[in-house]
C-alpha cells in the first residue's frame, strides 16, 4: 500500500479508453471509506475521448487525517457515469516522523584570543524529514574583577539551522570575553 503524508499533493496517471472518439468526458479520482464518501478528490477533469487508451492526469491532495482510504476513479461521458473503478491497493496516510537531532561531536573550543572565545559543536539530523535545530549557548562567569562571582547561568545566545535528513550542521558561537 502506498504511504503518503497528510496534505501531500500527488498526480495519478489513469489509462482510460472511451469509445467512440470525440466524446466530451470527465474523470475523477477520489479517496474515501466507500464509493459515496469523498474525503479527497481531484475534481472532475475534462478530456475528449480518442477511441483509444489515453493517460489522464488526476492531481489530488491527500486528506489531513491519518488512516487507510480506498481509491476510486469515476469516468463520465456526456455527464453520465459510464465507468467506476476501485484501485487494487488502498492509500495509507501516515504523518511523517519529526526530525531527530543528535550530537556527533563534543562542544569544542575552536580558538581563543584576548577578546573572544569561539565554541562549536556538530549536530546531525538522523530523522526522515528536514527540520530546524535550535541550540542555546549559556554562560557563567567564573570570576569577576569588579565584585562577587556570579553563580547563575545566563542564556547568552540561540543559534538555529535547518538540517536535511542525514545532514550534519556545525553550530558555532563567538563569545566576547
User: Is 75 in the same domain as 156?
Assistant: no
What is the number of structural domains in the chain?
Answer: 2
**Structural domain of residue 30, as residue ranges?**
3-93
State which of 54, 77, 93 marks the end of a domain.
93
Q: What is the DSSP string of the chain?
A: --EE-TT-EEEEEEEE--SSTT-EEEEEEEEESSSS--SEE---EEEE--SS-EEEEEEEE--SS-EEEEEEEEEEETTEEEEEEE-SS-EEE-PPPPP-EEE-S--EEEEE-SSEEEEEEEEEE-SSS-EEEEEEEEE--S--TTSSPP-S-EEEEEEEEEE-TT-EEEEEEEEE-
User: Is 79 in the same domain as 113?
Assistant: no
Q: Which residues pair with 82 in a beta bridge?
A: none
Q: How far apart are CA 113 and CA 126, in angstroms?
A: 35
Contacts of 162 (CB under 8 A, 6+ apart): 130, 131, 132, 133
User: Is 74 in the same domain as 133?
Assistant: no
Least confident interval from 43-52, 69-78, 104-113: 104-113
User: Is 89 in the same domain as 108?
Assistant: no
State which of 63, 93, 123 marks the end of a domain.
93
CATH code, 11: 2.60.40.10
User: Average of pLDDT values for 49-70?
Assistant: 97
Model pTM score: 0.61
User: Is 83 in the same domain as 138?
Assistant: no
User: Is 86 in the same domain as 120?
Assistant: no
User: Is 28 in the same domain as 58?
Assistant: yes
What number of CA atoms fall less than 13 Å from residue 95's CA on the CB side?
6
Tell me: the pLDDT tens digits for 106-164? 877 665 555 566 778 899 999 888 999 998 877 766 665 666 666 677 787 888 999 99
Mean pLDDT of the chain: 88
User: Average of pLDDT values for 14-37?
Assistant: 97
User: Is 119 in the same domain as 77?
Assistant: no
Amino acid at each position: 500500500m502506498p504511504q503518503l503524508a497528510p496534505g501531500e499533493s500527488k498526480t495519478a496517471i489513469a489509462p482510460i479508453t472511451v469509445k467512440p472518439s470525440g466524446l466530451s468526458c470527465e474523470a475523477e479520482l477520489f479517496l474515501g471509506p466507500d464509493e459515496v464518501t469523498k474525503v479527497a478528490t481531484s475534481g472532475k477533469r475534462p478530456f475528449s475521448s480518442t477511441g483509444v487508451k489515453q493517460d489522464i492526469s488526476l492531481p489530488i491532495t491527500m486528506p489531513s487525517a491519518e488512516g487507510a482510504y480506498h481509491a476510486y476513479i469515476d469516468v463520465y461521458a456526456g455527464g453520465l457515469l459510464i465507468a467506476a473503478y476501485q484501485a487494487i491497493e488502498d492509500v495509507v496516510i501516515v504523518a511523517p516522523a519529526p526530525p531527530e537531532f543528535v550530537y556527533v561531536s563534543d562542544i569544542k573550543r575552536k580558538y581563543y584570543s584576548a577578546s573572544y572565545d569561539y565554541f562549536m559543536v556538530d549536530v546531525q539530523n538522523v530523522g526522515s524529514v528536514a527540520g530546524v535545530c535550535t541550540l542555546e549557548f549559556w554562560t557563567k562567569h567564573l570570576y569577576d574583577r569588579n565584585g562577587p562571582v556570579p553563580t547563575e547561568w545566563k542564556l547568552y545566545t540561540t543559534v538555529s539551522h535547518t538540517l536535511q535528513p542525514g545532514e550534519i550542521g556545525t553550530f558555532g558561537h563567538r563569545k566576547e570575553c
